[in-house]
Copies of this chain bind each other. A is one copy, B any other.
Amino acid sequence: MTATGRIEICEVGPRDGLQNEERALAPEVRAELCNRLAAAGLPRIEAVSFVNPKRVPQMAGAEEVMAGIERRDGLTVAGLVLNERGYDRAIAAGVDELHYAFPVSDTFCERNQGTTIEGAMEIGTRLVERAREDDRHISITLSAAFGCPFEGRVDPARVIGLAERVRALGVDEIVLADTIGVGVPSQVRELVAGVAALGAAVGCHFHNTRNTGYANAIAAVEAGVALLDASCGGTGGCPFAPRATGNIATEDLVYLLHGMGFETGVDLAALLEVSAWLAETLGKELPGQTYKAGTFAPVAA
């Protein structure tokens, strides 16, 4: 009954997590977070976002964060870019990998990025071309693929159609994101199967807004996904549900995966210490559970 295989976790706490936290952390603290995560064995870290700091003050100083990250063998440092200006900054700052994302509904695209799906596809086309020229790995995340905060249910056929177009651009990876945390495992299996059938490398990005995130992550892995995003401590939130939590917590995902026999390369005990440190740094309890409960060690009788 034991699974085998390696699941790669992309740690998105420094970006998607911290971007949605009330307390903004200084660039050197965010770099320290990345360094602690890398030391705990996280192989891939979305460290920064090259967006306008006036719009997202939590992400200000991306270049300083990048400069503070100690590069080590086996560590991939990624940055989120939403346009060519961001791309230029990311390359100049020395990211290994580019992440681009857009929502699969026009309304959300307009609200989030000031463009339509077609406009977002054009930007994506150009970014993939440039990444190919610069010989960088690039992934595209289809946001709100499991439901849109404005348009409601999303037709899986629309997501799969967009994934086909994105794949045809020559992107290295397609990530299906449940941005507002509404998906369920049956939906995950359907979308993952549909996108995998295109011949694309598929990853998934889950939020735990309604406590479905970990069940969805297991469904994704068992449907063949080998890449999952997660956020140390489960930092972050949801602008559409202010009292709700954000990404699935990396340490809780690792606990689950290791318990089922998957390998991640992560040192869980070390990661729990990073989560505890981050909770202290943010001055709040984080939604991750295992850093509070501890891994499974019997107490003295």
A115, chain B: closest CB distance, angstroms: 15
A206, chain B: closest CB distance, angstroms: 11
Q: Pick from B107, B210, B218, B243: contact of A215, CB below 8 A.
A: B218
Select from chain B the residue with minimum beta-carbon distance to A184. Answer: B259
Q: Which residues of B contact A151 (CB under 8 A)?
A: 298
- Whether A209 pairs with B111 at a CB distance below 8 angstroms is no
A287, chain B: closest CB distance, angstroms: 8
Select from chain B the residue with minimum beta-carbon distance to A291. Answer: B243
Q: Which residues of B contact A261 (CB under 8 A)?
A: 186
Q: Which residues of B contact A148 (CB under 8 A)?
A: 298
- Whether A245 pairs with B289 at a CB distance below 8 angstroms is yes
A288, chain B: closest CB distance, angstroms: 7
- Whether A149 pairs with B184 at a CB distance below 8 angstroms is no
- Whether B186 pairs with A1 at a CB distance below 8 angstroms is yes
Q: Which residues of B contact A249 (CB under 8 A)?
A: 211
- Whether B293 pairs with A238 at a CB distance below 8 angstroms is yes
- Whether A298 pairs with B210 at a CB distance below 8 angstroms is no
A215, chain B: closest CB distance, angstroms: 4
Q: Pick from B190, B215, B248: contact of A256, CB below 8 A.
A: B215
Select from chain B the residue with minimum beta-carbon distance to A290. Answer: B210
- Whether A190 pairs with B1 at a CB distance below 8 angstroms is yes
Q: Which residues of B contact A150 (CB under 8 A)?
A: 298-299, 301
Select from chain B the residue with minimum beta-carbon distance to A299. Answer: B149
* CB contact under 8 A between A255 and B186, given known A149-B298, A218-B215, A301-B111: no
Q: Is A294 an interface residue when CB atoms closer than 8 A count as contact? A: yes
Q: Which residues of B contact A288 (CB under 8 A)?
A: 211
A202, chain B: closest CB distance, angstroms: 16
Q: Is A3 an interface residue when CB atoms closer than 8 A count as contact? A: yes
Q: Which residues of B contact A219 (CB under 8 A)?
A: 218
* CB contact under 8 A between A107 and B244, given known A211-B249, A259-B184: no
- Whether B184 pairs with A260 at a CB distance below 8 angstroms is yes
Select from chain B the residue with minimum beta-carbon distance to A298. Answer: B152
Q: Is A68 an interface residue when CB atoms closer than 8 A count as contact? A: no
* CB contact under 8 A between A147 and B210, given known A2-B186, A256-B215: no
- Whether B293 pairs with A241 at a CB distance below 8 angstroms is yes
Q: Which residues of B contact A225 (CB under 8 A)?
A: none
Select from chain B the residue with minimum beta-carbon distance to A258. Answer: B184
A65, chain B: closest CB distance, angstroms: 28
A183, chain B: closest CB distance, angstroms: 8
Q: Mark A190-226, 1 if CB is under 8 A from B, else 0.
A: 1000000000000000001111101101110000000
Select from chain B the residue with minimum beta-carbon distance to A153. Answer: B296
- 28 interchain pairs, CB-CB under 8 A: A1-B189, A2-B186, A147-B296, A149-B299, A150-B298, A150-B299, A153-B296, A181-B293, A184-B260, A186-B259, A186-B261, A210-B256, A211-B214, A211-B248, A211-B252, A211-B255, A211-B290, A212-B214, A212-B252, A214-B214, A215-B217, A215-B218, A218-B219, A238-B293, A240-B299, A241-B294, A243-B292, A244-B292
